Amino acid sequence: MPSPAAPMLQVALMPAGRRGSVARGTNLLQAARALGVELESICGGRQTCGKCQIVVHEGRDQTHALSSSAASLSPVTDSERAYAAKNPLPGRRLACACTVQADVLILVPPESQARKQIVAKAATERTISVLPAVRQVYVESIAPDMDDARGDWERLQVALAAQWGLTGLQLDVLALPTLQPALRQGKECVTVTLWQEQQVLRVQPGYTEGAYGLAVDVGSTTVVAHLCNLRTGALLSTQSAMNPQVKYGEDLMSRVSYSMLDKQGLARMHSAIIRTLNQLAADAAVQAGISLHDICDMVLVANPVMHHIALNIDPVELGGAPFAVALNAALDLKARDLGLKLNPCAQLHVLPNIAGHVGADNVAAQLAEAPHRSDDLLLLIDVGTNAEIVLGNRQQVLACSSPTGPAFEGAQIAHGQRAAPGAIERVRIDPVTLQPSYKVCGSDTWVLPGSGQLVPQDARATGICGSGIIEAVAELFLAGVISKDGRFNSALAGTQPRVHASGRQLEFVLADGADTSTGSNITVTQNDVRAIQLGKAALYAGVKLLMEHRGVTQVDRIVLAGAFGSYISPRHAMILGLIPDCDLEKVSAVGNAAGDGARIALLNRAARVEAAQIAQSVQHVQTAVAPRFQEEFIGAMALPHATDAFPHLAGMLPLEPAAGSVPAERATRRRRPAAA
């Protein structure tokens, strides 16, 4: 404690750039806090957790006009020496162990910053500010005494108020039985896990570290779970699985129908998704080497039908106009109430919905891509079984959904599969020879079928995922194997070995059985092309209606999101007519934006407030029943479109061959490199 007469000294903290004066003798942790720089601390300044490490600048700093050295702080303490004996502390001090003795310039390493910025590695890099809803504090409580009639909980509350300024706390009823054993075992010292500074979720004896959270995106076809360290923000494991409800219906409406037609339908689908979530959590915990009991927070996003089923709400109202949702608001629940097997007191935050077919997954994608903070007019397309489309900028954001069907997620495709190791994700077809080449998820090898190349095990294909089928159909179109209306050129069936009839339809052999994991050919069939055409036409029609609503004919930027593939080629998406014309430089693919948004909401509680604001401010446009939808849909069935112009594809699209002829221009086309 500095004396009232102590001289004032200058303290500067980098990289925050905060500077101010404090009395000589002020504890450095408190000085930093007073100057607006929050350092990590679990032990509350007891010099035991090692989270508040800092580096002292040596020498004169011209920017801050002050000289600083190790002697600017009080001497190294025994506690610091004890900590350094067990953990490396190279050239660093523990801020809570130091007092300020002279002007000093302090460097705060990123891992010591309480609100650290982490860069999330998605298809694009996102910066997330770590400010979680769940955190841990170490506290020394008051020992029971014959003269003290208070309960252990009351004594712990007093200690939490005195040592951390935490008041008005509640104790989860399932944490109550562990309170006394933890206090006695820890000799009245415990680590308390808190939710939103309001509720105690866990009391563990002594000093301990480890609070984790799960961010989950429940898609119609794929479920993805990210396990994160809530203190550091680190992503420890990502697990995914097929949504087990697929067996009750491939698209949303068939699952609504299943719920209507079978009394046990909802219960079955609800139990199935909860089982899958528990399995994903267990797998993630094993991979990260933690216990399921260490997972104390979870964020769930989903489209409205998946949201309702996960919450055991009958989705029947979402099956027909006016598509009423049971609720749009965000929810804070106990994970155990849904049968989730995490920490028994773990919290579950469900992001809000926008409308009947635009759900919390869309809100999460908007959190990640932030159209509401964009100066450009941004078109954000989350491609899934039901595409959710957002168009807007900081003035106004519109959203709608479009029933694309599951083709983009690899379903309803003859050799379709979800994006997983072995799935063909990139395809090229030489327009002259029709020689295909492809690459599978998890391998960098381009396979050239029929070349005699020895195909490594990890490059052997098992099927085609969403991004693979998009590229395959676009390449077939560029090579003249299919025409503008999506039909196979029947003249090729007798002349080209890779095009042949299978039953009543034509197909193109993309991968030879000799090179695949299954030993069978992997083909793209006429029915696959039709499924992609139907999906892309529905998506494009939804985009056009939103643009019409907004009164624009052009967008500045397009972001393609979706868990359907780790990679989608903007050029192929545009050649297919999945997206409207735009400068290709301004089209990007970001992977699973909804999952990334869920992760942002898990790691930053302010993002949950922002999500609620997004859900309230977005203007929902109903497209499913709009008479113009059908008109736009028909035009969009053609590749890339029957009438809309694509000036940014100038020179890339094939000339339409005469029906039934071998395209004459094939012989004169330039060969493109396989991996172009």
Neighbour tally for 199: CB within 10 Å: 17
Q: How far is the CB of 185 from ligand FES (least distance, A)?
A: 21
With beta carbons less than 8 A apart as the criterion, state whether 25 and 6 touch: yes
Distance between CA 369 and CA 17 in Å, rounded? Answer: 29
Residue 47 within binding range of ligand FES, rule CB under 6 A: yes
Q: Which stretch binds ligand FES (CB under 6 A): 48-56, 260-268, 349-357, 654-662?
A: 48-56
Q: How far is the CB of 80 from ligand FES (least distance, A)?
A: 9
Q: How far is the CB of 47 from ligand FES (least distance, A)?
A: 5
Residue 305: name the closest of 261, 361, 262, 264 by CA: 361
Q: How far is the CB of 102 from ligand FES (least distance, A)?
A: 21
Residue with smaller CB distance to ligand FES, 94 or 128: 94
Q: How far is the CB of 25 from ligand FES (least distance, A)?
A: 17
Residue 114 within binding range of ligand FES, rule CB under 6 A: no
- Please, which residues have CB within 8 angstroms of residue 335's CB and are 6 or more apart in sequence? 298, 342, 343, 346, 347, 348
Q: Which stretch binds ligand FES (CB under 6 A): 47-55, 122-130, 334-342, 515-523?
A: 47-55
Q: How far is the CB of 368 from ligand FES (least distance, A)?
A: 33
Residue 48 within binding range of ligand FES, rule CB under 6 A: yes
Residue with smaller CB distance to ligand FES, 211 or 541: 211
Residue 45 within binding range of ligand FES, rule CB under 6 A: yes
Neighbour tally for 88: CB within 10 Å: 8
Alpha helices, H only, 176-288: 176-185, 252-261, 265-288
Q: How far is the CB of 536 from ligand FES (least distance, A)?
A: 55
Residue with smaller CB distance to ligand FES, 51 or 426: 51
Neighbour tally for 607: CB within 10 Å: 25
Return the bridge partners of 229, or none: 212
Distance between CA 314 and CA 335 in Å, rounded? Answer: 19
Q: How far is the CB of 534 from ligand FES (least distance, A)?
A: 59
Q: Taking CB positions, which residue lies at the least distance from ligand FES? A: 96
Question: Peptide bond before 657: cis, by omega within 30 degrees of 0?
Answer: no
Residue 191 within binding range of ligand FES, rule CB under 6 A: no
Residue 171: name the closest of 136, 189, 198 by CA: 198
Q: Which stretch binds ligand FES (CB under 6 A): 46-54, 252-260, 485-493, 647-655?
A: 46-54
Q: Which stretch binds ligand FES (CB under 6 A): 49-57, 190-198, 468-476, 647-655?
A: 49-57
Residue with smaller CB distance to ligand FES, 114 or 134: 114
How many residues contact ligand FES, by CB under 6 A? 11
Distance between CA 32 and CA 63 in Å, rounded? Answer: 19
Residue with smaller CB distance to ligand FES, 29 or 266: 29
Q: Helix 627-635 crosses helix 526-550 at what angle (to 10 degrees)?
A: 130
Residue with smaller CB distance to ligand FES, 163 or 435: 163
Tell me the helix, strand and coil percentages in the chain, rounded to 5. Answer: 35, 25, 40
Residue 96 within binding range of ligand FES, rule CB under 6 A: yes
Residue with smaller CB distance to ligand FES, 43 or 252: 43
Residue with smaller CB distance to ligand FES, 110 or 450: 110
Residue with smaller CB distance to ligand FES, 96 or 280: 96
Residue with smaller CB distance to ligand FES, 94 or 139: 94
Residue 386: name the closest of 443, 475, 296, 323 by CA: 323
Question: With b meaning 16 or more CB within 10 Å and e meaning fewer, what string describes 130-168?
Answer: bbbbbbbbbbbbbebeeeeeeebbebbbebbeebbebee
Enumerate residues 50-89 that contact ligand FES by CB under 6 A: 50-52
Query: Which structure tokens are listed for 543?
Result: 């985009």
Residue 235 within binding range of ligand FES, rule CB under 6 A: no
Q: How far is the CB of 199 from ligand FES (least distance, A)?
A: 23
Residue 94 within binding range of ligand FES, rule CB under 6 A: yes
Each residue 2-41 as x (binds ligand FES by CB under 6 A) or -, in order, gives ---------------------------------------x
Each residue 286-305 as x (binds ligand FES by CB under 6 A) or -, in order, gives --------------------
Q: Which stretch binds ligand FES (CB under 6 A): 45-53, 266-274, 330-338, 503-511?
A: 45-53
Parallel/antiparallel/unpaired status of strands 8-14 and 104-107: parallel
Residue with smaller CB distance to ligand FES, 38 or 458: 38
- Phi and psi torsions of 327, nearest 5°: -160, 150
Distance between CA 72 and CA 396 in Å, rounded? Answer: 53
Residue with smaller CB distance to ligand FES, 89 or 102: 89
Does residue 23 sit in helix, strand or coil? strand
Q: What's the Cα-to-Cα distance from 252 to each of 16, 212, 319, 380, rounded to whole Å?
A: 48, 32, 9, 21
Distance of CA 300 to the CA centre of its chain: 11
Please give the full DSSP string across 329-388, using - where no structure is assigned: S-EEEEGGGGT--SSTT-EEEEPPP-BTTB-HHHHHHHHHH-GGG-SS-EEEEE-SSSEE
Q: How far is the CB of 141 from ligand FES (least distance, A)?
A: 18
Rounded (10°) CA dihedral 52, 55, 61, 67: 90
Neighbour tally for 450: CB within 10 Å: 13
Q: How far is the CB of 522 from ligand FES (least distance, A)?
A: 56
Q: How far is the CB of 96 from ligand FES (least distance, A)?
A: 3
Q: Which of 43, 280, 284, 509 binds ligand FES (CB under 6 A)?
A: 43
- Give me the long-range contacts of 452-456 (CB less than 8 A, separation at least 24): 455/515
Q: Enumerate binding residues for ligand FES (CB under 6 A).
A: 41, 43, 45, 47-52, 94, 96
